[in-house]
Chain A
Amino acid sequence: MSMTADYLELSDVRVEFDGFRAVDGVSLTVLQGDLRFLIGPNGAGKTTLVDAITGLARAAGSIRFGRTELLGRKAHRIARLGVGRTFQTASVFEDLSVLQNLDIAAGAERGPVTMLRARGRTPERIDETLETVGLTAHRDLKAGTLSHGQKQWLEIGMLLVRDARVLLLDEPVAGMSGEERTRTGELLRRVGADRTVVVVEHDMDFMRSFADSVTVLHAGSVLSEGSVAEVQSDPRVQEVYLGTAPTDAANDSDEAVA
């Protein structure tokens, strides 16, 4: 555990696309060890918010990791500060092996000499991570041949192996089987204990089982925030999920209200 707990603090974050406010004044704080779920209907701005934090989308306001302001930094600098993310569509290096994927993820700080040499023994940290995400048996397979769920685990592993302090996971369990979801949830609980984790998710069951706290985003703004129970009983949340009804959200809303 680090001496002082990390935290991610957003205040009045705004992202605009050609005059359209995709994120419109979001403020929220996520503490280390608090497994935070970010939910909301399609187009609510969840992915855009993650983009803003990681330097992919240009944003206004303030986004701080501990004392460090992230806004205005380049994406790779933000990543080096320990902020890691995954993408909605799994994006591992399909042409490289699982081991190579993790090795690249672990090595942003390597010097030129190390880079120009071939890898010798597998670094210990990589072995541990393989164990953690359950891919030890697959370490020499090309990442492109992994199942969808395994790719997502590899992505999470790629954040763990470089010891990212903040994990921003964009719909990590989309398309996973029930059993894979449970394993993923347990993995997140384990790795989330000493990290700051934000999970963007659609799946309400998954959220109920694993979330410590929830932020509901709607039309670019925070609609509600609190524990799972609090959020579920919030009438505004129910209204949003029942009112506008894109298919996904409609299914979810039934459960959410139930």
Chain B
Amino acid sequence: MDALFAQLFAGLSLGSVLLLAALGLALTFGQMGVINMAHGEFMMAGAYTAFVVQSVVGDAGLSLFVSLPAGFLVGGALGVLLEATLLRRMYHRPLDTLLVTWGVALILQQLARDIFGAPNVEVRAPGWLSGNVDLGLLQVSSARLFIIVLSVAAVVGLGVLLKTSPLGRRIRGTVQSRDLAETVGVSTRATDRMTFFIGSGLAGVAGVALTLLGSTGPTLGTNYIVDAFLVVVAGGIGQIKGCVIAAFGLGTLQAAFEYSTTASLAKVAVLVVVVVFLQARPQGIFSVKTRSLV
């Protein structure tokens, strides 16, 4: 019984990390069809932001709360820079954005290596996040619990933004029909840039959160990017709820497979599940219906 709950919690925890990593991706991929392989490096930048903030601020608790918005800004700024310099020219060939952003990812990794050194660095977690919390049924790591809460907050925040704000309306309109949005006077270019800011900012936040779980290195992002994309594919584009379900679904599956086999076999099994799932729903769990032939 305990083992079951522990397993369930492991799945939730993994799912929340995947969700944080995938949320921004789902946004940029959904709206612009851009496959941003540098998203993982934006996470890495967020993590190093936390490292830098902590070395300036000192106090672990305070630095966490400074790092979260700072990571958002750093990730967002990188995203806007990428969008404005490169991706803007490439919207008509989305597959190529994958390779270009991969190049950017390589450069960012090497920059991190040259600035912070190849060995991993540690960010201290505040005292109240380093122990366990007793939930009655089981003891859970308070850092992992914090990340679950953070991911839920990110989803709610993004959801409210998309549902209620004018920007959100423009984003949703552009996701559904870029041409139509343009004809009714939405500046899709400004919308794209804001979307990229928010999506990449979320990557920064995810990076800050990851410092609570382990050490930070130049390849931090590479470890998550593939799984994050898998979440986006399984979730279907254009809607947050698909992303949420897919993240927790794949997280739980991964944890369950790991429990019954090994971590490496679990990865393969999850991939097989996604491919089989796409047989039934080629567009993912949810998708915006469009008429396009492709």
Contact = CB atoms under 8 A, between A and B. Distances in A.
Interface of A: 17-18, 87, 91
B78 to A, nearest CB: 36
Contacts of B289: 17-18
Contacts of B293: 87, 91
Interface residues of B, number: 2
4 contacts: A17-B289, A18-B289, A87-B293, A91-B293
A17 B289 CA distance: 9
A87 B289 CA distance: 19
Contacts, number: 4
A17 B293 CA distance: 15
B93 to A, nearest CB: 15
A212 B198 CA distance: 58
Interface string B283-294: 000000100010
A62 B293 CA distance: 24
Nearest to A91: B293
B175 to A, nearest CB: 16
A187 B11 CA distance: 65
Contacts of A17: 289
A201 to B, nearest CB: 20
A32 B187 CA distance: 50
A151 to B, nearest CB: 16
B180 to A, nearest CB: 14
A17 B290 CA distance: 10
Nearest to A18: B289
A33 B168 CA distance: 54
A48 to B, nearest CB: 9
Nearest to A89: B293
A18 B176 CA distance: 15
A18 B287 CA distance: 12
Contacts of A87: 293
A217 B163 CA distance: 37
A107 B293 CA distance: 23
B177 to A, nearest CB: 14
Nearest to A17: B289
A4 B293 CA distance: 35
A43 B293 CA distance: 18
A37 B289 CA distance: 29
B79 to A, nearest CB: 32
A246 to B, nearest CB: 14
A252 B226 CA distance: 54
A87 B293 CA distance: 11
A132 to B, nearest CB: 27
A76 to B, nearest CB: 14
Contacts of A91: 293
B172 to A, nearest CB: 16
A18 B286 CA distance: 12
Interface string B270-294: 0000000000000000000100010
A71 to B, nearest CB: 20
A157 to B, nearest CB: 21
Nearest to A56: B293
Nearest to A57: B291
A46 to B, nearest CB: 14
A45 to B, nearest CB: 13
Please provide the 4 A-B residue pairs with the shortest distance between their CB atoms, ordered closest to farther: A17-B289, A18-B289, A87-B293, A91-B293
Nearest to A47: B291
A91 B293 CA distance: 11
B286 to A, nearest CB: 12
A91 B294 CA distance: 13
Interface in B235-294: 289, 293
Nearest to A87: B293
A105 B293 CA distance: 19
Contacts of A18: 289
B130 to A, nearest CB: 49
A17 B287 CA distance: 13
A170 to B, nearest CB: 12
A87 B291 CA distance: 13
B266 to A, nearest CB: 35
A166 B32 CA distance: 39
